Every structure is written in C-alpha cells, then in structure tokens.
Chain A
Amino acid sequence: EDQVTQSPEALRLQEGESSSLNCSYTVSGLRGLFWYRQDPGKGPEFLFTLYSAGEEKEKERLKATLTKKESFLHITAPKPEDSATYLCAVQDYYGGSQGNLIFGKGTKLSVKP
C-alpha cells in the first residue's frame, strides 16, 4: 500500500534559522513526488515536482531533494511569511491508489521574527 510519512509534525524556527523537513514514502514505483504549501483556511498550493533520485528543485528559500526512499524540503534563512503547513505527496507509477496523489499529514512550520 502506498504510504507517505512526514516529520516532524511541527517545527518552530527563528527567522534566519535554516532547517529541513522530511518526507518518507513507500510506493510500488514512484512516478513523482510533490511538495505543496497550505496556509490556514486555504487550499494547498503546488511548489515542486521531483521525478527521480538525485533530482533537486529550488524556489526562493526552498530547495527540494529526492532519494529512493525520502525527500527533504530545505528551508534556508526562513522568514515569517514561510510559516505554513508543507505537504508531501506521491504518485504511484503502477496505478496504486488509482493513480491519484497520496498525501502525507504535513509539517506545520512556524517562523518567529
């Protein structure tokens, strides 16, 4: 069964304090791994897609990396506006979960000024 586990559940950082969020996954075959950001009271917003181990994507202070078992979302010198819940999702190449995205429970990031 496809599975996505994110850690930590919550992370509090001071502004400028870099850190990483983890996403571990289990799928029959990984078609893609996706990162989303969700603000309170809003729907998730797409950030990145990663397809193969070793791949990296960057956007402003965020960098996503992928290995065969997990992905990391690195946040460099975060600002208060980076506070949000970050969701990881996977898509199974062999059609597990009918090809739909399977989401983890998310990491709630709080960045204090």
Chain B
Amino acid sequence: DTAVSQTPKYLVTQMGNDKSIKCEQNLGHDTMYWYKQDSKKFLKIMFSYNNKELIINETVPNRFSPKSPDKAHLNLHINSLELGDSAVYFCASSQGRRRNTGELFFGEGSRLTVL
C-alpha cells in the first residue's frame, strides 16, 4: 500500500500546454510538499502546504500553482509549459513542517518532458 503516490509517472507534452500532476498520501500527515529535481539532480523545494499555510519558494514562477482539495491531496498545476520546466517533480509529506523530525516521505516522482 503506497504511502505517497503520484500520477502520472511520465508526462510528455508540448511547450505552451497546461498540465497537472496529482499527489495523494495515506499516512495521515498534515503537511505536503512539491520538490523539483533538475537534470543535475538538485532537489529544490517549490511549495510546502498544510491546512493553515501555503509557503511558496520565491523562485517558483507563478505559472506553477498547488491545489489541495483535502488534507491527503496536493496537486500541482502548471500553465504555459516551457522547455526549462522539464524535470522530475516529487511530492512528499510529513507530520508538521517547522517542527517535524525532517523525515519526509517522498513519492516516486513524475518525470515531465516539455518538447
């Protein structure tokens, strides 16, 4: 039973399109995250979110937006895709954010390729 699941695992699309990646966690955690891992394998925080607070990394373009229908889901919407958006996007969850133990549970990643 997968703890953090993301769909789709692979996504190939054209520049200018809008796409979404879905994430669900069944761990009962109250905080979820989106991380981007680029071609150099650098893992960077994009968003962290719990039911009280959305924290956006200031370097993330506003074409990216997280949407959380409920505590167990945090979806990532991307508008007007650009070539530089090609990367692997990881969803993660934890119990708490500022006071958590640093143990994040990651999904398997969604590889986005923009042509």
Contacts and interface: CB of A to CB of B under 8 A. Distances in A.
B is a partner of A: yes
Interface string A80-106: 000001010101000101111111011
Interface residues of B, number: 24
Q: For the complex, would chain B's binding face be called helix, strand, loop or mixed by DSSP majority?
A: loop
B104 A101 contact: yes
Contact of B108 (A42, A85, A95): A42
Nearest to A35: B102
A46 B45 CA distance: 16
Interface of B: 4, 33, 40-45, 48, 55, 57, 90, 92, 97-98, 101-109
Interface residues on A, range: 20 to 34
Given A49-B101, A85-B41, A43 B55 contact: no
Contact of B55 (A42, A85, A100, A106): A100
Contacts of A41: 108-109
